A and B are shown apart, each in its own frame.
Chain A
Amino acid sequence: MSKFRMHLLVCGGTGCRASESNLILESLKRELEEKGLSSEVQVIMTGCFGFCEKGPVVKVMPDNTFYVHVKPEDAGIIVAEHVIKGRPVQRLLYVDPKSKEQVPDSKHMGFYRKQIRIALRNCGFINPENIDEYIARDGYASLGKCISELTPADVIDIIKKSGLRGRGGAGFPTGLKWEIASKNKADQKYVVCNADEGDPGAFMDRSVLEGDPHSVLEAMTICGYAIGASKGLIYIRAEYPLAIHRLKIALKQSKEYGLLGKNIFGTDFNFDIELRYGAGAFVCGEETALISSMEGRRGEPTNKPPFPAEKGFFGKPSNVNNVETFANIPVIISKGWEWFSSIGTEKSKGTKVFALAGKINNVGLIEVPMGTTLREIIFEIGGGIKNGKKFKAVQTGGPSGGCLTEKHLDTPIDFDNLVAAGSMMGSGGMIVMDEDDCMVSIAKFFLAFTVEESCGKCAPCRVGNKRLLELLTHITKGNGTMADIDRLKNMCNVIKDTSLCGLGQTSPNPVLSTINNFMDEYVAHVTEKRCPAGSCRELMKYSIIVDKCVGCTACARGCPVNAISGERKGPHFIDQEKCIKCGACFEKCKFGAVLIK
């Protein structure tokens, strides 16, 4: 039906645009015009291909030919050779880095493998409110296979061999967790889904629940079968109304289809799932606090052991897994543990979903095999840093993680490498920072979050974090000393060692990792009373360049504290004692006479 026989897609992502992809577009259009082909071949600019390193890229449809490093002057040969004669331009083809061979068809290009969608396999494909669409994509087939063909021990064995590790942050082997829960004997056991996603900038679990709720329900039922539980609970924060809405629909539909409830698949296996709402406290993502909250008590953690697998919800053995962990289960059953364990690194199998946020062009969700480097994630899939600024750091693991810097860009990401680099996997939030971000302020931001979210049960976390925040504030105001930096470090280590739960044990990480990676910034704040990124307001100094000042009095009139004095038509001055560094004078001055240092 198309009136065009061919389409030339020119990448218009930020990276390719910077390399003149708009000129390529124009040249191609001009060439086609000259050859009288404008009505047969259409040239179109697209969004980012996620292949910025090889940009600018041009894709020819329907051939799927993928040209890399295209220059505006290549337009002539593309039109003359490919469009008219139907021969791909060999020298512009992508060369596979491993085989050193040219790849004529983009479907065989390795870069598609930069992202593999396992947990997100149905997100964006199916209607999440229609169980038939899930079933049409082999949904609930894995559950059927487990219940009718496999014993609970078989299921646990498959999950163990797959090498799946918990996606909530700590990376505990899921199969082992299930095995422990299955071995504990009790009249009632529970499967709990931890959907209390709390890291700032993380939205992976929300997207899975909104886009593919049945995969989580199916996996929980499989888990119930494996460990011998007949009840499932999803602990989800009430601030995810759409996810709750879709979960409710999904629960209703699967009950109608007999996939939840009594005698599932005509066997004597019973399983039912209920929702439990959280009020949005960060600490409730910790499994013992989560269980307390579900029991109707305050969301406070308890000592481990006993682990939830021994004594969990109302004292019964409970298996707690994260949303993304569950979303992987049905695929592992259907495609086999051998397939799953072939993806990823030696100790971290499969893929990980990351939520890209911050100063990055392609904010969004990505799913990459374990072992992908930060460089690939940020500069290729993520499309690079916003506004062409310089990359400075990326915070992984939210308030419990740490920052990774330029020197970590080529580290393959997996659970163990991130810990070795001083951060952690966390649930998968990635906040990208550029040269304008002050690392002391970033540490302060995350610490302010944990101070607010500390449950207050143990003193190191309740009191220690508060003191840490005070010290950091002290430094960003220009009142710090070198001794304060040492004090920070000592206190961080004490809090880490003595806190009861994961929240306190990890809350000093942002401080420690910024000290380790950006000591020079701390020193500049303390000794020179200067913020190298220019973001700490109290450390900025406003002054007026006498030669540029024309004496219009605009700044003096705009100053809220009357800190600026001077005669009309004569140079003005800022009284540093009175100045509150609000920046009003800078904005008012039309002559660029206000200097910020």
Chain B
Amino acid sequence: MATCGIASGAKQTMDFFVEELDKRGIGAVVTQTGCMGYCYAEPTVEVQLPGQESVVFGYVDRKKADEIIEKYIKNGELVEGIIPVNYEKID
């Protein structure tokens, strides 16, 4: 949720996740963060399932967010729009 994300609709996406996860009875922490660098694919969302490597999705509008909840979060089924990590972390 940096300027690039917000300009592309990240706030609406975040609201959607907060409300819908609650409605659908999924316990999850939804939090904001800064720019991941993938400005071309904003809004971006990183999903961390318990015990798994996190996955970043790009171009997440409400429709994509719905798909992520139903397919990935509920069933562990990946959906299109993954942005592969292409950098090294320092820790």
Using a CB–CB distance below 8 Å, which chain A residues touch chain B? 1-4, 7, 9, 11-12, 42, 44-51, 59, 62, 111-118, 120-130, 137-138, 203, 206-208, 210-212, 240, 242-243, 331, 335, 361-367, 381
| CB pair B3 A242 closer than 8 Å | yes
**Least Cβ–Cβ distance between A367 and chain B, in angstroms:** 7
Q: Count residues on chain B whose CB falls below 8 Å from chain A CBs.
A: 36
| CB pair A206 B3 closer than 8 Å | yes
CB of B35 within 8 Å of the partner chain: yes
Using a CB–CB distance below 8 Å, which chain B residues touch chain A? 2-4, 6, 31-41, 46, 49, 53, 58, 75-91
- Which residue among B53, B75, B87, B91 has the maximum number of chain A CB atoms within 10 Å of its CB? B87
What is the CA–CA distance of A372 and B77 in the complex, to the nearest angstrom? 37
A335 cross-chain contacts in B, Cβ below 8 A: 90
B77 cross-chain contacts in A, Cβ below 8 A: 2-4, 42
A243, closest chain B residue (CB): B3
| CB pair A59 B84 closer than 8 Å | yes
**Least Cβ–Cβ distance between A103 and chain B, in angstroms:** 15
**A242-B2, A361-B40, A364-B37 are known contacts. Are A44 and B82 too (CB-CB below 8 A)?**
yes
The number of A-B residue pairs with CB atoms under 8 Å apart is 141
| CB pair B34 A115 closer than 8 Å | no
| CB pair B84 A50 closer than 8 Å | yes
| CB pair A128 B75 closer than 8 Å | no
Ordered by A's residue number, 13 sampled pairs between the chains whose C-beta atoms are within 8 Å are A3-B77, A46-B81, A47-B41, A49-B86, A111-B86, A112-B87, A121-B90, A123-B34, A123-B35, A124-B37, A126-B33, A364-B39, A381-B86
A125 cross-chain contacts in B, Cβ below 8 A: 33
B58, closest chain A residue (CB): A47
| CB pair B35 A2 closer than 8 Å | no
A364, closest chain B residue (CB): B39
What is the CA–CA distance of A50 and B87 in the complex, to the nearest angstrom? 9
A43, closest chain B residue (CB): B78
What is the CA–CA distance of A477 and B50 in the complex, to the nearest angstrom? 63
What is the CA–CA distance of A118 and B82 in the complex, to the nearest angstrom? 24
A120 cross-chain contacts in B, Cβ below 8 A: 37
**Least Cβ–Cβ distance between B30 and chain A, in angstroms:** 10
Q: Choose from B32, B34, B86 the contact partner of A50 (Cβ within 8 Å).
A: B86
A116 cross-chain contacts in B, Cβ below 8 A: 87-88, 90
Q: Choose from A1, A62, A112, A212 the contact partner of B34 (Cβ within 8 Å).
A: A212
Closest 3 CB pairs of A and B: A211-B34, A2-B76, A124-B36
A112 cross-chain contacts in B, Cβ below 8 A: 85-88
B39 cross-chain contacts in A, Cβ below 8 A: 363-365
| CB pair B87 A129 closer than 8 Å | no
Q: Choose from B34, B46, B58, B85 the contact partner of A210 (Cβ within 8 Å).
A: B34
B83 cross-chain contacts in A, Cβ below 8 A: 46-48
B33 cross-chain contacts in A, Cβ below 8 A: 123-128, 211
**Least Cβ–Cβ distance between B75 and chain A, in angstroms:** 6
B40, closest chain A residue (CB): A363
| CB pair A118 B35 closer than 8 Å | no
| CB pair A211 B2 closer than 8 Å | yes
| CB pair B82 A9 closer than 8 Å | yes
What is the CA–CA distance of A1 and B80 in the complex, to the nearest angstrom? 19
B75 cross-chain contacts in A, Cβ below 8 A: 1-3
Q: Choose from A114, A121, A203, A212 the contact partner of B91 (Cβ within 8 Å).
A: A121
A2 cross-chain contacts in B, Cβ below 8 A: 75-77
B44, closest chain A residue (CB): A124
| CB pair B35 A207 closer than 8 Å | yes
**Least Cβ–Cβ distance between B19 and chain A, in angstroms:** 19
| CB pair A47 B82 closer than 8 Å | yes
